[in-house]
Structure formats: structure tokens, C-alpha cells
């Protein structure tokens, strides 16, 4: 059992087939969005392009069962703090910070996929002139977009005034940047960062 800092129990969201939403399988690919991004970042690092890492989530373990020396089982743990975004690093001297999210929805991207502390963090990064964005994947359609954080904020802010709770896919297509799946790297988001910032 894992708990958030406020004591609430963490439960992974389930999708069809009982798989975590981060473990949805691309058709005929067998890779998750996270695995593709990790492989992309490894490609960037090996080739001296950028240094970007997935942020570890700090966990405090409070109860471990040791049935035998080689088989310790964590029975209870707590998230030490709410996580911010998934990835951060540096590219051409600029700080990069981004979140990766996916949905099976075909017509819009639900904002419930984000948390207020993540949005607050991204706003702080943008204020400090960091490069901040989200990678949005429409998994059913096999489409992926880089969506700058500055465009995400107005959609998030409209929720507080009773506005819609999702970003229409047509808006993602207009304001975002389509990323073609590749082989090496798999999700070449740096190509888009070059066009936008350099």
C-alpha cells in the first residue's frame, strides 16, 4: 500500500484489460509512452544532443515483510511529496521540463489527467524562462503532440469559472505540434523545440 503525503491511499488508474493507463500497448508496438520517451532521452544523451531524465518519485517505505532474506516485500509506503512533472533536463543551455500524458479519447484531452500542483510547477518554470510543455498522446489514434505549457494554462484556468474540463482535439492540432513516430529517436520532440526556441 502506498500513500500520498496527506495520508490518502494511492491507487493506479485502470483501463480496459486491467492495465494501468501508462501501460497501454500501442498497436503492434508493445511500447508505452513512458518507455518510448525514456528511449528517446537515452538516444539524445548518447549522441550528446540533450540531457533529460525521468524524475524519480520520492517514496518513504514504512512497512517491509521479510519472509526470507532474498524476498523482501514492501507492504506499506507513502509518497513523500506530490510529484511535479515527469521529465526535466537541459538542452542548448536551456532548462527543459515536461509532463507526458495519454488518453483513449478521440475528440478531446481530459484535463483531469493533470493535477493542480503540476500546473503550478509548470507556471513557475515558464516564469523563470524555462522551456515547459506537455507530450499529449491520443493512444487510440496513435497521434502524439507537443503542447506548450503556455497554451495549457488557459484551459486549466477556465475550469475554475465553470468552463469545459478538456482540451478539444482540434485545439491541440492547431496550437500543438504533431510528432511523427520514428525509430531513432522514437519521439523526436527536440526537433520541435529547435523550431520554437532556437
C-alpha cell at position 183:
525509430
Taking the C-alpha atoms of residue 17 and residue 80, their distance in angstroms, rounded to an integer, is: 30
34 HSE (CA, 13 A, CB side): 11
**Do the bridges between strand 87-91 and strand 73-79 make them parallel or antiparallel, or are there none, so unpaired?**
unpaired
8 Å CB contact between 102 and 137: yes
**Do the bridges between strand 143-148 and strand 131-138 make them parallel or antiparallel, or are there none, so unpaired?**
antiparallel
The verdict on whether residue 15 carries a ligand-binding annotation is no
The verdict on whether residue 99 carries a ligand-binding annotation is yes
The verdict on whether residue 173 carries a ligand-binding annotation is no
DSSP 75: E
Give the residues across from 48 on adjacent strands: none
8 Å CB contact between 190 and 91: yes
The verdict on whether residue 84 carries a ligand-binding annotation is yes
C-alpha cell at position 103:
488518453
Question: 6-41 burial, b if ≥16 CB within 10 A, otherwise e?
Answer: eeeeeeeeebeeeeebbebebeeeeebbeebbbebb
* Binding site residue list for Mg(2+): 84, 86, 99, 118
Q: Which residues are annotated as a binding site?
A: 84, 86, 99, 118
Amino acid at each position: 500500500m502506498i500513500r500520498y503525503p496527506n495520508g490518502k491511499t494511492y491507487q493506479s488508474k485502470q483501463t480496459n484489460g486491467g492495465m494501468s493507463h501508462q501501460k497501454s500497448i500501442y498497436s503492434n508496438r508493445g511500447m508505452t509512452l513512458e518507455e518510448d520517451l525514456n528511449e528517446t532521452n537515452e538516444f539524445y544523451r548518447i549522441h550528446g544532443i540533450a540531457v533529460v531524465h525521468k524524475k524519480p518519485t520520492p517514496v518513504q517505505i514504512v512497512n517491509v515483510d521479510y519472509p526470507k532474506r532474498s524476498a523482501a516485500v514492501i507492504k506499506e509506503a507513502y509518497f513523500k511529496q506530490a510529484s511535479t512533472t515527469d521529465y526535466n533536463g537541459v538542452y542548448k543551455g536551456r532548462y527543459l521540463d515536461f509532463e507526458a500524458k495519454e488518453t483513449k479519447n478521440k475528440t478531446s484531452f481530459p484535463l483531469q489527467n493533470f493535477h493542480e500542483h503540476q500546473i503550478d510547477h509548470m507556471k513557475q518554470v515558464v516564469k523563470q524562462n524555462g522551456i515547459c510543455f506537455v507530450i499529449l498522446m491520443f493512444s487510440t489514434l496513435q497521434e502524439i503532440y507537443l503542447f506548450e505549457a503556455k497554451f495549457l494554462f488557459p484551459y486549466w484556468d477556465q475550469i475554475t469559472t465553470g468552463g469545459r474540463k478538456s482540451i478539444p482535439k482540434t485545439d491541440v492540432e492547431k496550437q500543438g505540434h504533431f510528432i511523427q513516430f520514428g525509430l531513432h529517436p522514437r519521439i523526436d520532440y527536440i526537433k520541435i523545440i529547435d523550431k520554437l526556441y532556437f
